[in-house]
């Protein structure tokens, strides 16, 4: 949503020079070796100082909190530059699956079909998938996709939510589990965000409009602010 907001304000249309002219350049400091030796090739010549927002973290209350979009060091324009997942410099634990060296694109696609289902899976994708016989019984039927016997089958989204969220909330003394109505609203929103074709997914700026956000999430957020 934060990225969608920057696009709506035209920030993504600026060149680096125009951005600096409008908002000023970041404050940097030179990096030097304590031994005064030349820097190794993998060390940048300068570091950007963090932005000070006027308060230390310990002094900030929930009502002070705002979404802050930062660190555009890895940003690039897909229209001009191709950058595959394996080129991602995000820390390993936070990398998307496609950037991992431990699973293949076929593993990920099979998992997506297991979890999301086939309702939004384009038939042409299924038909041209060369490795599908490794994961599903051989069939060109769009409606019949039976996982191959012996392989691990990922739970569908509803079951995954139950096992990965609800189960732990029941054990918690601080939060309660979602009731059936709210859980259904959450899963419905997730499914709208996880449609296979990008043009079929809910847009980022529309995520605040579905039932779960309006009826539960925003309501709890405003109630929390009143308690601060």
Residue with tokens 């820390």: 91
120-127 average pLDDT score? 90
What per-residue confidence (pLDDT) applies to 16? 80
Degrees, nearest 5: CA angle 106-111-114: 130
Is residue 1 pLDDT above 80, yes or no?
no
The answer to whether the CB of 114 falls within 8 A of the CB of 156 is yes
**pLDDT of the residue at 124:** 93
Enter the DSSP assignment of 179: P
pLDDT score, position 60 = 75
pLDDT given for residue 134 in this prediction: 93
- pLDDT attached to residue 97: 75
The whole-angstrom separation of Cα 201 and Cα 206 is 10
Cβ neighbours around 185 below 10 Å, total: 19
- Chain segment 163-199, per-residue pLDDT in tens: 999 999 999 888 889 999 999 999 999 999 999 999 9
User: Residue 205: what pLDDT?
Assistant: 83
User: Domain limits of the chain?
Assistant: 2-83, 157-227
pLDDT at 142: 52
- For the ranges 1-5, 98-102, 119-123, the maximum mean pLDDT occurs at 119-123
């Amino acid at each position: 949503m934060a990225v969608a907001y920057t696009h709506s304000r035209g920030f993504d249309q600026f060149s680096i020079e125009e951005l600096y002219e409008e908002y000023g350049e970041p404050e940097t400091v030179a990096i030097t070796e304590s031994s005064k030796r030349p820097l190794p090739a993998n060390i940048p010549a300068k570091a950007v100082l963090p932005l000070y927002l006027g308060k230390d973290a310990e002094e900030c209350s929930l009502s002070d909190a705002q979404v802050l979009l930062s660190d555009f060091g890895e940003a690039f324009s897909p229209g001009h530059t191709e950058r595959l997942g394996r080129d991602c410099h995000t820390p390993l634990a936070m990398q998307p699956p496609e950037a991992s060296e431990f699973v293949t694109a076929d593993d990920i696609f099979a998992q997506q079909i297991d979890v999301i289902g086939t309702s939004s899976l384009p038939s042409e994708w299924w038909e041209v998938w060369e490795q599908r016989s490794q994961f599903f019984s051989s069939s060109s039927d769009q409606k019949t996709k039976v996982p191959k016997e012996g392989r691990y089958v990922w739970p569908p989204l509803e079951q995954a939510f139950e096992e990965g969220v609800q189960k732990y909330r029941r054990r918690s003394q601080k939060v309660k589990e979602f009731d059936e109505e709210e859980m259904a609203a959450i899963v419905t929103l997730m499914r709208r965000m996880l449609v296979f074709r990008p043009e079929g997914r809910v847009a980022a700026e529309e995520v605040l409009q579905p039932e779960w956000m309006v009826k539960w999430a925003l309501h709890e957020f405003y109630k929390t602010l009143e308690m601060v």
